[in-house]
Amino acid sequence: MSSPAVKKVVLAYSGGLDTSVIAKWLQETYHCEVVTFTADIGQGEEVEPARAKAEALGIGEIYIEDLREEFVRDFVFPMFRANTLYEGEYLLGTSIARPLIAKRLIEIANETGADAISHGATGKGNDQVRFELGAYALKPGIRVIAPWREWQLNSREKLMGYCEQHGIAVDFAGGKKKSPYSMDANLLHISYEGGRLEDPWWEPEEDMFRWSVAPEQAPDKASYIELTYEKGDIVAIDGNAMTPAAALAELNRRGGENGIGRLDIVENRYVGMKSRGVYETPGGTIMLKAHRAIESITLDREAAHLKDELMPRYAGLIYNGYWWSPERKMLQAAIDESQQVVSGEVRLKLYKGAVSVVGRRSAGSLFDENIATFEDDAGAYNQQDAEGFIKLNALRMRIAAGKGRNLL
C-alpha cells in the first residue's frame, strides 16, 4: 500500500548547499508545498540571507527565528546542571541543539497545517535519530522525509550538478574559502568532522580552529573570572547580571582567548560506528568546572554521588536523541531538585588552555571550617567517635576473616 501524498512539509533549512537542494528536490519529488525553518542558535553566521535563498526557490512560508536564549535557558543550562559528559569527555554541543530544532519543526507544522517535516541529516549519523525521535515524541503521526536515505545525490559533485540543472545559486560560502570539514556550530560549541580528520592519527592543522587560540599562543598572564550561580544556573559574570545566552557567549570569548575548550575524540555513534570529531567548547568547559565547584560546597555527599551515578545514563539519553523521553524528564526532575541549594560564587583562573578553580563560596555552604580544621576545633568534632564508626564498618570483614576467608 503506497503512502498518502504529502501536501506540505516543513524543512529545517540552513540556506546551504544540501538543504537548498533538498527544498527543490522535495518540490519535484513530492509535488508538495515547502515551508522553510531557519534557527539562529548562535552559529555565528547571519541567518537572514537564508530568506532570499528560500524565496529564490519559490518558498512562500519562511520562518527565521532567533532561538539563542531559549536554547541556552531551556536546553544547555538544564544539561549542565547534571555535569553532563558523554563517554567521559564530550560536552554534547551538537546533541543538545537537536531537540529544540525538532520542537520548532513540529510547532511550525502545527501552525501551518503541514503533514510532514524534513531534515538534511545523513543516514550515517546521529542527527537523523535525534530529529526524528523528537518529532515522533511530540507528534506521533507526523511524516518524516529524510532525503539522504532516499535520493542518489550522494556526493558534493552530484549536488552541484543538481544545482546547475535547476538554476540554484551555489555561492553558499558567502565569498569565504570553504572549509574542507563538515562543521556544526551553535552557542555551545563548534564541531569538525570528515576530510583528513577521518584518519584518527592525523593532527588537525591550527588554522582549522575558529573560536580559540592555541594554548601555546594564549596570553602569558592568567585571567580571572567570577561566576554567580542561582539554583545551578549562571546569572552573573564578574558581578554583572547576564541572560543565559549572553553569559555563554561571554564565556566562549574569555575561554577562547585563553586557549580553552579544544577536544579531539573518537566517539561511539548510536547508529553503531565509531567517529572522530574535533570540538571547540570554551564556554562549556568553564561551565562544567565551575558548576562542579559550586556543587562541592552546597550539595550533600550522597546527593552529589547519586548525581554522578545518574549522569552517564542522562548523557547517553541526550546523545542518542531521547531528550523528549519520559526517562530523561524523570532524571531531569531529580537533577533540578538537587539544584535548589546550588547558589553562590566560583572564582576561576584561565591560563593557556587550563581552567583552575581558585575559590568558591555560598551562603548555603556545607563546608564547616570549625569541624574541618586541623587546628583546635574547641570540641566541635569528637575524634573518639571515629573508633566506633570504623569498627562497625569493618564488622562484616572481621567476621569473614574470622571464618578463615583470608585475603592474603
Selected catalytic residue, list 14, 68, 127, 360: 127
207 catalytically annotated: no
Q: Please state, in angstroms and rounded to a whole number, the distance separating the CA atoms of residues 109 and 121.
A: 19
Element (H, E) at 398: helix 385-402
Identify how many contiguous H helices and E strands the chain contains and give both numbers.
13, 14
Q: Please state, in angstroms and rounded to a whole number, the distance separating the CA atoms of residues 320 and 311.
A: 14
Taking the CA atoms of 147, 24, 127 and 336 in sequence, report the sign of the dihedral they define.
negative
Selected catalytic residue, list 14, 18, 81, 343: 18
Which grid coordinates are listed for 45? 553566521
Which grid coordinates are listed for 242? 547576564
Which grid coordinates are listed for 44? 555565528
DSSP string, 177-223: PPPSSEEEE-SS-EEEESGGGGSTTPPPPGGG-SS---GGGS-SS-E
Q: Which residues does 162 contact at the CB level (< 8 Å), separation at least 6?
A: 21, 24, 25, 153, 168
127 catalytically annotated: yes
**Amino acid type, 3:** S
18 catalytically annotated: yes
DSSP string, 50-87: HHHHHHHTT-SEEEEEE-HHHHIIIIIHHHHTTT--BT
Q: Which residues of 41-57 are buried (b: 16+ CB within 10 A; e: fewer)?
A: bbbeeebeebbebbeeb
Write down how long the chain is: 408
Which grid coordinates are listed for 270? 548510536
Selected catalytic residue, list 115, 179, 182, 276: 182
Give pairs for 215-221: CB < 8 Å, separation 24+.
Answer: 215/259, 215/262, 215/352, 215/353, 215/354, 216/259, 216/352, 217/259, 218/257, 218/258, 218/259, 218/351, 218/352, 218/353, 219/257, 219/258, 219/352
Task: Give the closest residue to 125 by CA, choosing from 267, 294, 330, 285.
Answer: 267
Selected catalytic residue, list 68, 81, 98, 130: 98
| Active-site annotation, residues | 18, 98, 127, 182
